[in-house]
Structure 1
């Protein structure tokens, strides 16, 4: 092997040991959240298709809140606008962490998951648009539904079927899903804002700036920060922009590393890590499962009702977009990056691994359901078709990914067992350590 070959860039190369450890901790928490999300969705489906389905509808449509602030909302809307703001706050923290202090601050490493996420948005949108064209009834508004990847659901499936897959693949899926969330936020803010009120939106800058100044000074007092966050959320909601965007804006103000006055980056992490530890369990364990419970309930009506729902062009576009569009977009973008950068897959990896992860990208749940509600209205007939389609496309994607990744996981099991043996006294596998001048060649 020549020196030039050795220097060729590598796709899905190992991250640093510290970054790998941090990602592993996140994956464990998201896996639990994915299991709770699945439980919430199943409960909603069972209840909404039982003789007591009227009770589910009554619960979802129960309204409360101050009407003077235009916050007299249904319980389902509170979950979509309020609880998901916590989910997007955590996603914003993770996104900022990745690009400020994570391994993805290196543009060469960021290129692959970013390109894959973009491809995984563009191709499903094009497929949906082609299939839903001419369907009428504003069908075109649902183009963004199959573009989202549900991070908790996908990671939960990966945890069950791919326990021995290399950590670099898991990191790739997590990063892709985080960038996917960012794209979803932009799509929601730009394309699903119908009536924009500039005054409340400008007013939201006041509590947002104060919140940012406080967190930059490492203020953690909840009695100061939570009211400011709540006011920001209310004003963004009042402006017509979807209220979950407020969660992302707040997250972007939180420092990832300590300021130079506090000792520089080497002095330790900023508040972002602290807030992530605090709010990720709330997001994964409470906010997302409750949203799933209040959004996934749809009366299928037996096999005939299922067929009727899936023959709607909107539903068909969603299923095909998730099942085919997502993996095609992710695979194509990854391949193009490898071609333009002349990068090879990391040693031992196979394009089947990328295909399996790309199929997991077709598990669209939380954000897909949210966009479906924004596009067609909560409780509408077409929204019910969206729910059936999202559940069907996500289930089929998960099943196909299971077939591929379980086979690959068995292959990597032997590699994993070797790496478990190859550990030093410091607990860091040798593969994560760079030989120094004094140890090289030993």
Structure 2
């Protein structure tokens, strides 16, 4: 493998690239170049004869980002069938912790945003924003600072982040559908079913033809979902979940460098292209403060507290208990919301650009605070494990890499 794809498949570099892209977007939005770039991002590009007419920024968040959700769905499929979530017994501990990492941030956000509800604030609609965990960032921090942590901690975090993603996907599908067109949605589901059948035909002499047909059907499914009123990224999720397991691994492996090196940085740049409000601190929206506190604090408290409960009630025969200090580190990592939180911020406040921009700033600052806190806690725990002699050095392995060569026993 050449150096560039390997670098983009590592845990550390994509996280650094993502942060740099967001920082660049925020910087350029607040320089004199803002108007020119805003004009480019706001320019509309229509697809003749389809009714699809989106701005460049929306093509990125609705179209390009669908590829990211497709890859996430491939990971979800693997984990739900052969990975950390392949049984109730295996999933119960991270599932309980994930519940805490969702409920506590929501409660904190509503406490802060709800306090302004009587003053006509619409900030309460942003409650889903601090519920997400960014897998790429969390594993990147773990890889950089966590050399020596037991693999059980990484597995716990991975399962936790995936469960968070499932909840985020449900929020996007249920809360942000608008003007639902049932016929187009049904046609989209038919296209997804055709995609599933085609994916099971890969591997024969006509593989190139089938692959081209899959791309065409996938694009059609995306267009139908987008036109139906369901957020277009859900198409990516559906396509990833129904893909044949035999071809899902190689597909994810092939797309990963593109997602890490292009899709996510491009989305981070566009999402972070917001003007920092020139207003006193007290004039900022409650959405900003709610997210700023709920991401780093809510996730840390929710994941560690519920995780501790999960350890006490875990069924016999499950994985060994994770120590409470390690749960604290996992909770801090969970507060790095970033990608999905940025998308949720754009959706929750689509009708109010001013609040949306402040919510995005809250996501960026809250995620950075969580990142710094996680780096400190993970470093502390890694040193403790190395001192205790139970350190492990496999934190940068790709948990899905072996799947690329895997052949299911039944040949499907």
TM-score (norm 1): 0.80
Q: Distance in 2 between matches of 1:288 and 1:418?
A: 32
1:225-264 equivalent positions in 2, closer than 5 A: 225-256=214-245
**Structure 1 counterpart of 2:80:** 99
Q: 1:340 Cα shift?
A: 2.1
Q: 2:37 aligns with which of 56, 60, 67?
A: 56
Q: Distance in 1 between matches of 2:7 and 2:269?
A: 23
Residues 1:385 and 1:343: Cα distance change in structure 2 (over 3 Å): farther
1:107-161 Cα distance to aligned partner (Å, 9 max, x none): 2111112222222112211221222111534322211011111111222222222
Matched, 1:397 2:370: yes
1:49·1:298 contact (CA, 8 Å) conserved in 2?
Answer: yes
Q: 1:234 Cα shift?
A: 0.2
Residues 1:296 and 1:306: Cα distance change in structure 2 (over 3 Å): farther
Q: Distance in 1 between matches of 2:375 and 2:56?
A: 35
Q: 1:293 Cα shift?
A: 0.6
Q: 1:344 Cα shift?
A: 11
Q: Distance in 1 between matches of 2:391 and 2:282?
A: 52
1:29·1:284 contact (CA, 8 Å) conserved in 2?
Answer: no
Q: 1:341 Cα shift?
A: 2.6
**Structure 2 counterpart of 1:37:** 18
2:181·2:229 contact (CA, 8 Å) conserved in 1?
Answer: yes
Secondary structure at the counterpart of residue 266 of structure 2: helix
TM-score (norm 2): 0.86
Residues 1:67 and 1:418: Cα distance change in structure 2 (over 3 Å): closer
1:153·1:363 contact (CA, 8 Å) conserved in 2?
Answer: yes
The runs of 5 or more residues in structure 2 that have no matched partner are: 1-5, 394-412
Runs of 4+ in 1 over 6 A off after TM superposition: 342-348, 416-420
Matched, 1:186 2:170: yes
Q: 1:97 Cα shift?
A: 0.5
Residues 1:199 and 1:189: Cα distance change in structure 2 (over 3 Å): same
Moved more, 181-190 or 333-342: 333-342
Secondary structure at the counterpart of residue 64 of structure 1: strand
**Structure 2 counterpart of 1:307:** 281
**Structure 2 counterpart of 1:198:** 182
1:338·1:344 contact (CA, 8 Å) conserved in 2?
Answer: no
Q: 1:332 Cα shift?
A: 2.4
Q: 2:91 aligns with which of 97, 107, 110?
A: 110
Q: Distance in 1 between matches of 2:46 and 2:21?
A: 24
Q: Distance in 1 between matches of 2:286 and 2:13?
A: 34
Residues 1:345 and 1:416: Cα distance change in structure 2 (over 3 Å): farther
Q: 2:350 aligns with which of 377, 381, 389?
A: 377
2:11·2:140 contact (CA, 8 Å) conserved in 1?
Answer: yes
Residues 1:350 and 1:293: Cα distance change in structure 2 (over 3 Å): same
Q: Give RMSD over aligned pairs.
A: 2.5
Q: Distance in 2 between matches of 1:251 and 1:162?
A: 30
Residues 1:203 and 1:416: Cα distance change in structure 2 (over 3 Å): farther
1:65·1:71 contact (CA, 8 Å) conserved in 2?
Answer: yes
Secondary structure at the counterpart of residue 10 of structure 2: helix
1:36-435 equivalent positions in 2, closer than 5 A: 36-66=17-47, 68-133=49-114, 134=117, 136-218=120-202, 220=207, 221-256=210-245, 270-301=246-277, 305=279, 307=281, 311-341=284-314, 350-377=323-350, 380-414=353-387
**Structure 2 counterpart of 1:267:** none
1:368-391 Cα distance to aligned partner (Å, 9 max, x none): 111111111178100111111111
Secondary structure at the counterpart of residue 204 of structure 1: helix
1:32·1:285 contact (CA, 8 Å) conserved in 2?
Answer: no
Q: Distance in 1 between matches of 2:157 and 2:213?
A: 36
Residues 1:378 and 1:359: Cα distance change in structure 2 (over 3 Å): farther
Task: Work out the number of aligned pairs and report it.
Answer: 380
Residues 1:73 and 1:418: Cα distance change in structure 2 (over 3 Å): closer
1:274-317 Cα distance to aligned partner (Å, 9 max, x none): 1111112221221111000111122225xx647256x4211111
Q: Which has the larger radius of gyration?
A: 1
